[in-house]
Structure 1
Amino acid sequence: MHDLKGKSILITGASTGIGAAAARAFGRYGANVAVHYNSSKDQAEEVAKDVRALGVSAITVGADVRDSKAIAAVVAQTVDAFGKIDVLINNAGSLVKREPLESATDELFDDVININARSVVVFTRAALPSLRSGGGGSIINVTSVAARNGGGPGALLYAASKGFVSTITKGMAKEFAADRIRVNAVAPGVIGTPFHDRFSTPEQLEGFRKSIPMGYIGEADDCSGAFLYLASEAMSRYVTGQIIDVNGGQLMP
């Protein structure tokens, strides 16, 4: 994956968890990284500091992904800093809260959809001019095992929003192929990150663990290889419209 050296990578939701692990992984391969965050500015700065320590450039860019103007500003700041965007990773997302459908409010629905689904559309739309002007590149969306199995307790809105991400990944792959932009997705299973610290009880996590053939909860860096592979033209130039599952065998489509 030598071709990642000098590439410019924008990762949304990169201050913690899977996004933070991916940012550090790209730094190890010589890529420059824009670390997007919403409220976790200090954590984002730590990630960027770690990336810079690897001898490459890193910036932090803050925005609420429910705000289209703020998203456009993030993309503009990344292009200003690096001159271009070669790889966009739409990783930002949240379950928001576990809630049965019968008591889910319109406000909860809007939040879940805007954070997980609409943000993918808006970030992609904003980054397209840079990707096109650079002669192509890679977009990697982050979906979830929940998109295939309906999600855990109280997570059906989240699962449905990730189903949208999985489907639009395939549509984007078709629409942008002529621009030499490959579009794929990574679908994590149960990964030990602040996401589950916030939304899952120890009992729920143990139940999830028992459903995983490999017998343990994944770590954030377990997803990094999939991002690196899909970002590398040398490794995956003929791969588009695909979803790579990283779930320890919990679901085998």
Structure 2
Amino acid sequence: MTTLSFGLQNTHVLVTGASGGIGIETARLFAHLGSRVTAHYNTSPRDLSDPNSSASPNITPIQANVTSESDITRLFDEAESKHGCPVQILIVNHGIFETQNVELADMTLSQWRNTHAVNLDGAFLLCREFLKRLRGQPGEVLDSVSITFIGSTAGKFGEADHSDYATSKAALMYGLVPTLKNEIVRIAPRGRVNAVNPGWVRTPMAEEVIKDEKFVARALASTPLRKVAVPGDVARQVCVVSSPVLSGHVTGVNVMVDGGMEGRCLYPPPA
């Protein structure tokens, strides 16, 4: 029997927001598959730098503010220096979600701008730096190149009382993915751009929201699998989509990891 290979051995992967639930699971899985992983974090590395945790020695945590151009430059400089090669796979996973429900009519401009600055401006700065540094790289580097955004069902179906988050994710999924898939090949002829879009996942960011059983019931009302995902459900799809072997002819795609969700239920489902 032939062993299935992801073709990710020694490939340099940068995962943003890697101290969060999906991010740390994704970083660990890439490391398990033999990748050299740069794990970005904003304020705390959490388990990434804990010698007693299950984080791999192949994972290098680096702090950066994704809304700062100078920080992004430093992030890539340090990543290249520590791993001895340029970043080849970029996983844009970081993001913020305001847990307090706020209708657009009552939302402050500062909340709107802050969410977009982190979720969207940060993605722009990361992709720009990533693509610029790939120019002129040899074929053996370029053959594994890809970008994967972590989107959301909020970007597909909307999210009442969270218009700032929903619009930022929709911009990644339906603005940057189809645009960059056509631009990346000018730099890396085999380069690919996709998005992996989860529904509700049991992560620290969503913890307070999914404590509400009635909310979860509404969220799962149109979901055939009737369960909330765990970070590994998303991480596995990210690695599959990033693999030049398993997904080498897959680009411009939005992979929904949402249990088959068909929409939003605004009211409690019938008993």
Question: 207, 214, 225: which is aligned to 1:214?
Answer: 225
Q: Is 1:103 equivalent to 2:106 in the alignment?
A: yes
Question: 162, 184, 192: which is aligned to 2:202?
Answer: 192
- SS for the counterpart of 2:179 is helix
Residue identity matched to 2:207: D
If the length of structure 1 is used for normalisation, what is the TM-score?
0.91
CA deviation after TM superposition for structure 1 residue 243, in Å: 0.7
Change (3 A) 1:74 1:101: same
Change (3 A) 1:27 1:48: farther
Query: In 2, Cα distance between the equivalents of 1:126 and 1:115?
Result: 16
Q: Which residue of 2 aligns with 1:230?
A: 241
Q: Which structure 2 residues correspond to residues 147-226 of structure 1 after superposition, within 5 A? A: 147-151=155-159, 153-166=160-173, 167-178=175-186, 179-180=188-189, 181-202=191-212, 203-226=214-237
- SS for the counterpart of 1:4 is coil
If the length of structure 2 is used for normalisation, what is the TM-score?
0.85
- SS for the counterpart of 2:246 is helix
Change (3 A) 1:48 1:220: farther
Question: CA contact under 8 A between 1:90 and 1:141: conserved in structure 2?
Answer: yes
Question: 39, 48, 54: which is aligned to 1:50?
Answer: 54
Q: Is 1:113 equivalent to 2:109 in the alignment?
A: no
Q: Which residue of 2 aligns with 1:245?
A: 256
Query: In 2, Cα distance between the equivalents of 1:59 and 1:170?
Result: 31
Note the aligned Cα RMSD (angstroms).
1.9
Q: Which residue of 1 aligns with 2:10?
A: 6
Select between 44-53 and 130-139 the one with higher mean Cα deviation.
44-53
- SS for the counterpart of 2:220 is helix
Question: CA contact under 8 A between 2:6 and 2:240: conserved in structure 1?
Answer: no
CA deviation after TM superposition for structure 1 residue 225, in Å: 2.0
CA deviation after TM superposition for structure 1 residue 198, in Å: 4.0
Change (3 A) 1:65 1:183: same
CA deviation after TM superposition for structure 1 residue 221, in Å: 0.3
CA deviation after TM superposition for structure 1 residue 174, in Å: 0.8
Change (3 A) 1:15 1:241: same
CA deviation after TM superposition for structure 1 residue 207, in Å: 2.3
Q: Which structure 2 residues correspond to residues 11-30 of structure 1 after superposition, within 5 A? A: 11-30=15-34
- SS for the counterpart of 1:234 is coil
* Gap regions ≥5 residues in structure 1: none
Question: 88, 91, 94: which is aligned to 1:89?
Answer: 91
Query: In 2, Cα distance between the equivalents of 1:175 and 1:207?
Result: 39
Q: Which residue of 2 aligns with 1:59?
A: 60
Change (3 A) 1:9 1:48: farther
Question: CA contact under 8 A between 1:112 and 1:157: conserved in structure 2?
Answer: yes
Select between 64-73 and 230-239 the one with higher mean Cα deviation.
64-73
Select between 128-137 and 156-165 the one with higher mean Cα deviation.
128-137
CA deviation after TM superposition for structure 1 residue 2, in Å: 3.9
Residue-by-residue CA offset, 1:88-124 (whole Å, 9 max, x unaligned)? 0000001134311111111111111011111111001
CA deviation after TM superposition for structure 1 residue 129, in Å: 3.3
Number of equivalences:
248
Change (3 A) 1:48 1:70: farther
Q: Which contiguous aligned blocks of 4+ residues in structure 1 show a shift greater than 3 angstroms?
A: 46-49, 129-132, 198-201
Question: CA contact under 8 A between 2:154 and 2:166: conserved in structure 1?
Answer: yes
Question: CA contact under 8 A between 2:6 and 2:244: conserved in structure 1?
Answer: no
CA deviation after TM superposition for structure 1 residue 193, in Å: 0.7
Question: CA contact under 8 A between 1:10 and 1:87: conserved in structure 2?
Answer: yes
Residue identity matched to 2:172: V
Question: CA contact under 8 A between 1:15 and 1:47: conserved in structure 2?
Answer: no
Change (3 A) 1:124 1:15: same
Q: Which has the higher helix share?
A: 1
